[in-house]
Structure 1
């Protein structure tokens, strides 16, 4: 059977989202009629050409208000009301479905889901034997018909009873094989969507051919699936969620399909060569209790921001075919399945301005200033625009209505303008002709523009970053003190702190007495004992940060080995690819003088416990057997997650210092819990990560237990 997202919504050109969105409970028949008309227009616009001016949340809210009015006034229900129709019902189709493609009812909270689950069990007269929990993919539902294993037809949902033939799209959809692995006659139902990478490529190609960019991946997939006469094609991806017989299906196979549990059907689809969520970070899972369902809902929700495709909820079904038959189906939705909707991560708002900020390495980054909008539990006022080329490619203008995406802790980003809402008053975005920070020239040779002075442009930010707790940890050298040093001409580069700055220099500054001066000098001396990974991080090399600096330092062990590495050698470090490696190598060369000065000043240029990689074998030296064996730490080969507040011997360690400790002891620090996690160190206040570890059966340790395990590595 079929699962489906709620109908994405749209508004007519020239109408703003505020005008289109429901503002309050419907109080009159006229308001109800207008709401129904608005919902019909929204569904028609989306399913006709994939345009979207509003997020799912606005449409869901509108439909809930319509349903609430109808519950109060059952005699006034209009025939066009979306509350009794299958999603996509505004679109006519001429290919009948052998079995209706229904929509799903929604739940928005644990309580709503639990109430629905209890009602389902009352309906069938027994507890549901098993629940199937799958991600709710954010795309367009289709039915793919196979005859003797060969793909012969693609059909959209349409009004649920008949859909459009979109077989012209065969060959452009990844995960939907032209030939199954077995010569069976079946219908595979699923969702066509665009991954994040496919969406970026689609907009690049579309704008290159003179079209407006798509607002988001969901709309891009909907519009692309129907397009027949474009001068270009772009790929999409298919995920199957249903398997059923067709006229002509072998009788024995038809009986098997009708009797199999949903999880078994999905396993069969995989054997046939069909792509399903089983190949993703959020595979379907069969559980037996409502509590387990809700735990899995939370797990999938936590992974949402990491997925390379969009989901807007979780689909929960009675897994067994017998339970499904007993429950039956309504006119628009099965009674044995429900969509648990997640909070919206996409909203429409207006692009008010663009700010140009200069980072510590001289990178000039544009930032969108937005009309404030509530997304995923927080108010969003700013969003990233990546770089000038990205602005141009997306065709953004000041005053545009834009689709903004945010999930979890991910920085909000502007996806695209909602082009059909333009009024003509929008203005071109002006790019800076000179560095906004210092007025110097701009190097525009790469996609990310950079001040010609590089990191010297924003010296205060560069030095303050280096002095931070997770870098050299120089107590007493905060932002205001760095400003003093730079303004006084005492510091013009990071090494000046160690080989130029004197006690008399510091005493000559305002608010610097003998005690504070001596304390700062002592902190500078202590900074010299920080390991190589901290020194590397303090340099602020583009393409690196705290964790990457640790990986590089542990891989090469010495600064000399790091500096001797070419791009190919740098790629041997986990997480460094072909694009990033040359940038890091070039940055190290650019920083050569500063590194030399830091080394001469006595800063540590080795990583404790690390051994340089063996040189490649040659005919002269043979296989390298000269490298001493590195003693395996107690965490060797383990993936470790630290969560909550540390206590005991670890109480004063920051999260970065805990991650350093993990890696000194031979482990790999991670920020998320998965089935591949070996150990979770759960301190006071550990929340969802501890819960997830318990659900997955991952080993847990208290801070005291962990300290005992890695005691010899605590510095």
Structure 2
């Protein structure tokens, strides 16, 4: 809460409280249709709020309830930075991997007195923030640093309390958990979908994700979403537990939804017994689970073990073996990817596996089809690798009747007719070399450009990408290559009719009512007027122009240049011109690039139509240079290892601070390490730095390194005696 200058603190606090209560009442009245305040109570609060603002005009803001019309609330999924990074979990797929994890934990932290085991819910990760006991925000995992604000939608979930119960809760508490649909709730949602003539959701997780991301929270409120917590991020003030189990019990006291299926065990024998029991009763729970999470229970040991860049070292996810079923392989077809790669995939009799209906499964390449000995017409064993990706494991040869036939890789691209070829002898993948004119490759590239990890263009989904590149009417596509994307006009969009294609295969979708290919007018309504989608698309295209250079580089679909390599290039080169004009040797010298990627970049820029894409984007105003391109990089060539917890820097912000100054952050200490920065509970990396004689900095020394460079920092390094 910000106290306005000149306003008594008591008046400011009262204004803040009344504003929250009125906003909450509006939400419950307009969205949930379940008001908690009577009209008289609502009016009394509003009158008091207006009186405060009349006495203290500084309190009047555009966000005040007195300045807003009481109308249905909608969400815009604004990006929000997590208070603490929201990490993932490392997986153990077998007992050897589980044992290796435990051996490392014991080696680094000593004897573990207790492990906490709990089911791994197959849901959608979420972070809830409570301030002074009041629910204020809900954010999806996103990329771990930044997620989407889904507060209004989460408020519709009955198991999420608006206020914490009991006492002793922190002034700020960020809890993490999973939002899900029970199996029964999933069936209810799909029944409603069927009655409305809409496609059913494939599985409970997809249904939960789709329900949570509704633009109108009233739609979310109609879906029986639930939530269970499995941890926390920020915890400031209040009672401080000393274990995971203790935190769960406190959360339960405060009315937060915590699983009743977790157990504390003393050793790995207990862990294995819990895993076995949970696996045997996997489908006995009300919700889908896909494994077991094992955690070191004591917080001091968790802090000592620390985390990698993506996952805590004190926890592991035991993944259940993927479910396997038998089904009939009706055909093997091929799909064309954005780089021209030809991928065979199986078309099967639809079958339910691991909770979802599967019709298609990848076969990777022609060599893999041959290796597995799969024939068209076979009964095959199908599983979902990691319970996610459908995979054909093997044929059931004992059921063959002689009608089966071998798969022959087509000689020509099924979408442009170009002769398929291997780029060089020994390649596993065959490709369509017609990158410029193959409609499949262009469609896939355009869809890739819009992805969340690339330019993040809402309203440019798979159907829209198809419409822009392969319209039925008019025959001239608005987008002949990616360069045209930022030069679209409404007039070009409205006449477009297109065949809807399946995202997984690129095949035309068949309308079940007519048996014909499904055709849509994607951008115009029945009256020929622009749909809301058009307005959203153009707004998103304007936003995309301001994306940082590394995202623009990724969007070009240069072979081998993914987000990581693109970030390395952007950090070093700072502009598209510098990258385009660099020699192969200069590119290869960029940390993280090397000769293969350098050669690929040079080859890409030597193609005329590739350069034309960059030129058109630049003309349209797409960002081609990062700010501060001439800024000094005092840490260029310096490698830094960061360990322990600092007061003013999170691990991510410290890493970004080093990278912004040209330095590199790695996860392991060696003789080539420039500095090791240590916070509280630094662990073994500090010990190794001392052993190798690597300069060690505390947080104050780290600030010197950032502000004054490596020479100044060497004068404030910690002595090995410390």
Normalising to structure 1: TM-score of the pair? 0.36
Normalising to structure 2: TM-score of the pair? 0.36
Q: Which has the higher contact order (CA 8 A, sep 6+)?
A: 1
